[in-house]
Amino acid sequence: MTLRTLISVGLLILGGVVLSAEEGRVVRSEEETFLLVETPHTFSHPWGMAVLPDGSLLITEREGNLWLVQGGKKVRITGVPAVRATGQAGLLDVEVDPAFPEEPYLYLTFAAPGPGGTSGTALARARLSGTRLEDVRILWEMERKTSSGRHFGSRLAWAPDGTLFVSTGERGERNRAQDPSDTAGKILRFNKDGTIPRDNPFVGRTGFHPALYSLGHRNVQGLAVHPETGILWAHEHGPFGGDEVNIVLPGRNYGWPVITYGKEYGTQAPIGKGTHAPGMEQPVVYWSPSIAPSGMLFYTGEAFPRWKGNLFIGALAGTHLRRLVLEGDNVVHEEVLLKDTGGRVRDVAQDHAGRILLITDHPNGRLYVLEPPAR
C-alpha cells in the first residue's frame, strides 16, 4: 500500500491552499481516524515548511528553491541567498516572524558557500515582498567551513520570549560538538536581529561562543517548544542507532561523542565512554535501530482532540510518522503512523485549522495533509 491509495473525497481547502483530494485514504489509528490527502504539487527534496498567517505555505527545496503554495498555485520566491547544495547541504529550514505581517520577515537556514568548495550552516533574515525576498541579511554563519557534505542540522524554533533557536550539526567531525568555541554540533540562540541575547548561558565566558545555548549534539533536525512549559525539545540523529529526543536546557551538555546509545557504523563497536557520564544529559527517549528523525511538532489543534499534547516526529529511514504520548516529561507510549507508505517524512507542521502537514524527501517529494474525515 502506498501514499497514493485512492478514494474519492472531493475538494479540500487548507487555509489559503487549495488541496486536490482526488487521492487519499481513510486511516484508523489508535486514537483518531483521519483522511490522508495528497496535494497536487511535487517538490525536489523538500526540507522545511512554514505556515503563513493567511494559511498559505512556504516550502524549501534543498537545491536552493523557496516556494509559496497558495490558492492551488505553486510560485517560486526569488531573491533566496546563494546556497551550496551537495550531499546533505542546501537550503534547509524556514520560519516566519511571529509578528508577521506587521514585521514581514522570513528566517532561513542553509549551507553557505565558502572558499574552495567549503560550506557551513548559516542563518539569514529577509523581508517577504510579494513573491520576492528583499533586504536579505546574513545574521550568522559558521566560521569554520569544511568541504564535507554531512551534518548541517538545521532547524529553527521561536522561544516564548521572541528569541530564535537554531540547531547545527557537527559536520561529521565529532569532537567539534564538545568544543565550546565552535558553533558546530550545538543549539544556538539569537535575537531576531541576529544579536546575542544577554542571558545566553555562556555570554562573557572565555573560550565559549556567546551564541551557544547547549552543546554536545550530533545532528539536530527537529526543534519544538513545549506549548505549556515553554521549554525547548530537540531530536537528533545518532550513528548506527542512538537517535534521541532531548529536553534542552540552557548550558547543558548532551554528550556527543562522549556518550551515545549508538554504535560505530560497520563494526558496531562502542563510541566514547558508553551511555552515561557525569555532567552529561540523558535523552527522554532513544531509538535503536535508528528511525532517522526529521521534523518535530507538539500538536495543539482541535481537529484531532485525542492527539492534543502529543509529540509528532517524522522518520526518514523509518518512512513513517511517529506519535509520542507524554506524561509530563516522560514518553509513556508510541504509535507508528503511515508505516511502509513509501514516504521519507522530512518535516511535519500544523496549520491554523489543526490539520497536520507532512512533506516527503524525494526527487518528487509530496505535501500531504492529515485531515479529519467528513462527519
Name the residues annotated as catalytic: 151
**Rg of the Cα atoms in the chain:** 20
State residue 98 phi and psi, 5-degree precision. Answer: -60, -25
Percent of residues in the chain assigned helix, strand, coil, to nearest 5: 5, 45, 50
Query: Could you give the CA distance from residue 218 to residue 243 in angstroms, rounded to a whole number?
Result: 10
Q: Which residue has the cell 506549548?
A: 227
Question: Rounded to whole angstroms, what are the CA distances from 140 to 47, 57, 115, 122, 175?
Answer: 20, 25, 17, 6, 22
Query: Could you give the CA distance from residue 375 to residue 358 in angstroms, rounded to a whole number?
Result: 23
Q: Is the peptide bond before 257 cis (omega within 30 degrees of 0)?
A: yes
How large is the greatest C-alpha to C-alpha distance in the chain, in angstroms? 63
Return the DSSP state at 329: T
Ramachandran region of residue 116, left (φ > 0), alpha (ψ -120 to 50) or beta?
A: left
DSSP 54-70: TS-EEEEETTS-EEEEE
365, 42 contact by CB (below 8 A): yes
Ramachandran region of residue 207, left (φ > 0), alpha (ψ -120 to 50) or beta?
A: left
- Tell me if residue 145 falls in helix, strand or coil: coil
Ramachandran region of residue 230, left (φ > 0), alpha (ψ -120 to 50) or beta?
A: left
Cell (9 digits) for 17 = 491552499
